[in-house]
Chain A
Amino acid sequence: MGRVARIIACTATLVPAVVVADGNLWDSLQLHGFASQAVIRTSDNNFFGESPKTSFDFTEVGINASLRPFSKLLLSGQALYRRAGDMYPNTLSVDYALADITALSLDQGRAGLRIGRIKNPLGLYNETRDMPFTRPSIFLPQVVYYERVRNLVLASDGVSVYADWFSDFGDLSLTLVGGQPQIDGNVEWSFLGTDWPGHVEPNETFWAGSLWYNTAGERVKVGLSGATSSFKFDPNPGSTLKAGTTAFDYWIASFQYNAEDWTFSTEYVREPVQWEDYGVFFPDQKVTAEGYYFQGAYHIRPNVQLLLRYGEGFANRYDRDGTGSSAASGGFIPPFSRYSKIWTASLRWDINRHLMARAEYQRHDGTFFLSNRENPDFGDLVREWDVFALQLSVRF
């Protein structure tokens, strides 16, 4: 953490210097950012705030700076402000803050090292998941990119090594990250069901890695990425939930095809989770969550894009219809809260280089990916529901 703080401090002192930029050192300074505001209305269930009554609780603002003081050293950092319903009511965070050192740069490839807070290279979208212009739609495919526990896999405080090989047949990119994950209250809600007396903290090093292959010209992009770690619960004295651990893996297989006017993407995720030693009220168990989506985006005009997506996600791949879990809970948990099947239609309009508007409709069967922090009472959940959303985003 101290390392991250030092890098941020270093980056922060650069900002005033841009005004008096004179020497070569500051010539490479770049500032970029974005801001977005969405309005969300759902037929039922809370999604990013009290959405059945129309919610404005989805705001994102990011500002970043980068500097290349020497040709082999890149310093960068981004501050992120987010409001996302009851999951993140008002959060200011350091999204990333890192030093990137190029160790090797050849015609055939490059290799290097990153130190600091590093975004985990998971799937097509995790690294820039909060930058609206890089997302395919207002909301990422929820069946793969769980919003309710986003911070668990978002970034690591640690070290990363990367290597890229370039050839006429395409590029191969390997990245490995090891560090400490960002664990917050949403992890406890999602994995332990409620806010227990005590708190959740990292247990082991968080490891993430990715391997990507692109054809030359990036027509085809194929990748495998994953993460593995565990966290533990530190109970307050007298807590009914004991000091247990939860170990999880998170694997994503990705494929994308890019044509001039359209892009097809598909991803498959698998997340085995194991709960141990939480005491008699929370028996040991092992469950594998699963999800996948197919997505096509077509440019109707150069600045207007229509996207269609279908995705399914399951809390337990061996109990996809949720009836097993529901029966085990004596009917307390409805079966449909263990899966989500989602149709999405989204329209993107790039008004100019800096401004983008989006409109989105989703039809849901099931409530698996909803945050129980936002929907604490199972009895209030509605199985079939709709989402309407609009979003306006700016960038510089």
Chain B
Amino acid sequence: MRALALAFVSLSLVWSCELSAQDMIVNDGMNLTSLSRNQARLYFSQKAQLWPDGAPVRVFVLPDEHPLHRSFCKRVLGLFPYQLRRVWDRMVFSGTGQAPTTVTSEKQLIRGVATTPGAIGYAAEGSRHPGIRSLEVD
């Protein structure tokens, strides 16, 4: 019983750590307010490479093992990080697509999205920065 209680407590701890939510962010110049989860998945996996207005989608991400990246993939996109990696690698090493821009910190990610037209990325919930806008995911 004690072991069960302990397991429950540690599980809830894990959950609460993961609960720090993320926002999907885009470059402020984008004429978009929301995306469906499926659309978000298509853009992040770069299966959809152009925005509806025809501009190229520029994806900014943190490294695969980064907690924010892992959490964003799972909670917002409903994907595991290795699945995105697999899709990107197949494109990059068969010449049918390009890799997303990988940066090493959240700060760099926000700056990248703010200064790149057509950029999409993510940040901790409530992040404010000139040049970026958060998107609703339905």
Contacts and interface: CB of A to CB of B under 8 A. Distances in A.
Nearest to B83: A218
Contacts of A68: 56, 98
Given A68-B98, A217-B79, A105 B93 contact: no
Interface stretch (A73-81, A137-145, A191-199, A332-340): A73-81
Interface in A313-364: 353
B90 A64 contact: no
A285 interface: no
Given A105-B49, A105-B50, A134-B89, A216 B95 contact: no
B128 interface: no
B9 to A, nearest CB: 22
A interface secondary structure, majority: strand
A131 B97 contact: no
B41 A217 contact: yes
Interface string B63-103: 11100000000000111100100110110111111110000
Contacts of B48: 105, 110, 166
B11 interface: no
A107 interface: yes
A28 B116 CA distance: 11
Nearest to B101: A30
B52 interface: yes
B89 A64 contact: no
B17 to A, nearest CB: 15
Interface string A239-271: 000000000000000000010100000000000
Interface residues of A, number: 44
B98 A128 contact: no
Given A66-B98, A107-B52, A260-B80, A166 B92 contact: no
A302 B65 contact: yes
Given A105-B49, A105-B50, A166-B48, A114 B96 contact: yes
Interface bracket on B? 20 to 34
A127 B90 contact: yes
A82 interface: no
Interface string A94-106: 0011101010011
B98 A30 contact: yes
Contact of A32 (B41, B47, B90, B93): B93
A133 B89 contact: yes
Nearest to A130: B93
A164 interface: yes
Contacts of A74: 95-98
A134 B90 CA distance: 7
Contact of B89 (A76, A119, A128, A164): A128
A258 B87 CA distance: 13
Contacts of A77: 95
A13 interface: no
Interface string A74-92: 1011100000000000000
Given A28-B98, A128-B94, A258-B80, 4 more contacts: A96-B95, A102-B49, A107-B52, A217-B78
Interface of B: 36, 38-39, 41-42, 47-50, 52, 54-56, 63-65, 77-80, 83, 86-87, 89-90, 92-99
The 6 closest A-B pairs by CB, nearest first: A76-B95, A127-B94, A105-B50, A128-B93, A131-B93, A96-B95
19 contacts: A28-B56, A30-B98, A30-B99, A32-B99, A68-B56, A71-B50, A71-B54, A72-B50, A74-B97, A98-B95, A100-B96, A110-B50, A114-B96, A118-B95, A127-B94, A128-B89, A128-B94, A217-B77, A218-B87
